Amino acid sequence: MDTVAYVDAVVEQTSTLAAWVDGQDGSAPVPTCPDWTLTDLVDHVGGVQRMVAMLVGERMTEPSRAFARLVPGPTEATRWRAWLTDGAAEAARAFAAVPDDAPVWDPSGGSAGVPFWSRRLFGEISVHRADAAATLGLPYDLAPEPAVAAVEDWLDTLTSRGYWENRPDFAEAMRGHGQTLHFHATDAPGEWLARREPDAVVLARAHAPADVEVRGPAAALLLVLSRRRPLRAATTVEVRGDRALLDHWLGHMDWVTG
């Protein structure tokens, strides 16, 4: 997927989420993000999309002013639908106005801020739509190819140099001596090999023997890896090898509200 495809998918999924939450009880707890209510979820999705619209649209290389844009949405749930769709549209306009190589702050530690943020917003809405589905008792689905892209975003973001440096608790937990985990989507092309090293988690798009192998449909992998579905409930996901290594990995994938 390229920047345009990611942004189009963000707009589409946000529209679905907006229709789901329209007029709902804002105090409803979000079971997949235990510290959140539905209001918190709506605030986060709409606020982050507006923040990224400012970062990208104004080609910011320093993010503090954009962070200040993380403000709550409307208090009336009947206004959420318009607020969310407006935020996604604002982000789409920002991406349409800048080239991929425009200088924009990239928290991963890379230098491709515009493509990074288009993919990150896509990963965000893919996962947070699952949060809304869990809260409202609705089915969650994501086609295999977009689900592979969302898994890729999750793994790339959490193994990035920027994440390692800014989350010392994560870095300490994930230091290793070559332990390997292999994730394999079974319904669309997508394989990743993660290797825990002393100073990084090294991610490769590769098929290779590993200490633990995790296979399943891409959407199921996304929900398990993002801790939106417990592994015990993911009946279509198969685990072979060192289950304790996988449990340790999942136990520290605690970026549940990001």
User: Residues 8-54: pLDDT tens digits?
Assistant: 999 999 999 999 999 999 999 999 999 999 999 999 999 999 999 99
> Contact 218/148 with Cβ under 8 angstroms?
yes
How far is the C-alpha of 161 from the C-alpha of 193, rounded, in Å?
A: 17
When pLDDT is averaged across residues 62-81 and rounded to a whole number, the result is 92
Was domain 3-140 assigned CATH 1.20.120.450? Answer: yes
Percent residues over pLDDT 70 in the chain: 98
Q: What is the token pair recorded at 210?
A: 């590993």
CB atoms within 10 A of CB 20: 18
The CATH number assigned to the domain with range 145-251 reads 3.30.1050.10
Measure the CA–CA gap between 168 and 83, rounded to whole angstroms.
Answer: 35
**Can you give the pLDDT at residue 134?**
97
Amino acid making up residue 203: L
Cβ atoms < 10 Å from Cβ of 258? 17
Q: Which helix (H) or strand (E) holds 197?
A: strand 191-197
Q: Which of 94, 87, 85 is nearest to 71 (CA)?
A: 87
Place of tokens 């993919």: 119
Domain ranges (residues) in the chain: 3-140, 145-251
Q: Is beta strand 179-185 parallel, antiparallel or unpaired with respect to 212-216? A: parallel
Residue 233 has pLDDT above 70, yes or no: yes
Lookup result for tokens 């947070």: 128
User: What is this structure's pTM?
Assistant: 0.95
Give the pLDDT confidence score for residue 111 in this predicted structure. 83
The Cα–Cα gap between 227 and 235 comes to 15
Q: What are phi and psi of 52, to 5 degrees?
A: -65, -35
